[in-house]
């Protein structure tokens, strides 16, 4: 059924020691209770409250698939002081029939370090073409956060790819977010799979996607209109003055 996906499902296959904080995370409890978390669509959104464990899960998936824990393609292997968990050691991933030919892991906290690593590698003599030519040609440090992120997607994502993105909306204006959705559709049409953690009610409307809402009670597929993010944002935008009045007592 979902054999054309690069990641079909994931499960926890080893017991996590009690003294590892991961053993107390709601998302980990949920995964254990479910047996496996299945992916059904080419675009999956992970949504849920701050701290529920979206980034931890997405990083675990990325590292288990061979990406550098700090982000980038599978070819990046730089390391800084940024912390990441060892969840990947406890995960078993069921892969699809075909292997992805392109891929990128965007770790929200360390895109800056990916940019630095490209500049450092390109500063070394002898390597042509420069890596940055794959990213639009201008150092990602010389572009704004949103510009550099769109350069990455528009120039570096080739299709037939596995793209694991942690809150991509953090960099983007609403207009650019819609541009990202146009790029995503082209990449999906070209055999790509996206797994994205997001708080964006705009992004989670993406057609033919699955929204997995993570709560303390479990992980379940929901209509985006039933997510807390969508309901709260819509209520607020429908009547900001009224909500602010009750919040701020003015
Ligand atoms: N090294 C650590 N030791 C103990 N707890 C940790 C450690 N690293 C992360 N945590 C905890 O793990 C939990 C899950 O964090 P995670 O970043 O995965 O949440 P998230 O769902 O991505 O949240 P957000 O929406 O804010 O990005 C948090 O409560 C965090 O405090
Ligand atoms: Mg997070």
DSSP 178-208: HHHHHHHHHHHHTT-EEEEE---TTGGG-TT
CA nearest ligand 1 atom 10, residue = 21
Atom number in ligand 1 closest to CA 197:
22
pTM: predicted TM-score of the whole model, two decimal places: 0.91
Domain definitions of the chain by residue range: 41-90+98-248
Q: Is ligand 1 within 6 A of the CB of residue 19? A: no
Q: What is the pLDDT of residues 64-113, one digit of tens each?
A: 999 887 766 666 666 665 567 899 999 999 999 999 999 999 886 666 67
Q: Which CATH number fits domain 41-90+98-248: 3.90.550, 3.40.50, 3.40.190, 1.10.238?
A: 3.40.50
Which residue among 17, 26, 56 is best mutated to probe the pocket of ligand 1, counting the most ligand atoms within 8 A of its Cβ? 56
Q: What is the pLDDT of residues 1-31, one digit of tens each?
A: 677 899 999 999 999 999 999 999 999 999 9
d(CA 136, CA 145): 14
Q: How far is the CA of 125 from the centre of ligand 2 (A)?
A: 37
CA nearest ligand 1 atom 4, residue = 21
CA nearest ligand 1 atom 28, residue = 51
Q: How far is the CA of 176 from the centre of ligand 2 (A)?
A: 21
Q: Which ligand has an atom closest to residue 24 CA?
A: 1
- Cβ atoms of 110 and 76 closer than 8 Å: no
Is the model's pLDDT at 225 over the cut of 90?
A: yes
């Amino acid at each position: 059924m979902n054999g054309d996906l690069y990641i079909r499902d994931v499960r926890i296959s080893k017991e996590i020691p009690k003294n590892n904080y991961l053993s107390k995370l709601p998302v980990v409890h949920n995964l254990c209770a479910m047996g496996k978390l299945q992916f059904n669509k080419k675009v999956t959104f992970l949504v849920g409250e701050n701290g529920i464990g979206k980034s931890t899960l997405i990083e675990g998936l990325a590292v288990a698939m061979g990406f550098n824990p700090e982000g980038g393609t599978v070819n990046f292997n730089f390391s800084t002081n940024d912390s990441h968990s060892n969840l990947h050691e406890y995960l078993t991933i069921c892969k699809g029939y075909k292997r992805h030919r392109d891929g990128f892991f965007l770790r929200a906290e360390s895109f800056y370090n990916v940019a630095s690593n490209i500049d450092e590698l390109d500063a070394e003599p002898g390597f042509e073409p420069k890596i940055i030519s794959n990213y639009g040609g201008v150092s990602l440090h010389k572009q704004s956060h949103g510009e550099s992120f769109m350069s990455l997607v528009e120039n570096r994502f080739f299709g037939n790819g596995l793209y694991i993105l942690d809150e991509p909306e953090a960099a983007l204006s609403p207009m650019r977010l819609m541009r990202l959705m146009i790029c995503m559709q082209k990449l999906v049409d070209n055999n790509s799979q996206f797994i994205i953690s997001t708080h964006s009610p705009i992004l989670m409307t993406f057609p033919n996607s699955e929204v997995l809402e993570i709560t303390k009670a479990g992980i379940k597929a929901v209509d985006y209109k039933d997510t807390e993010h969508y309901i709260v944002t819509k209520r607020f935008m429908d009547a900001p003055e009224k909500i602010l009045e009750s919040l701020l007592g003015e």
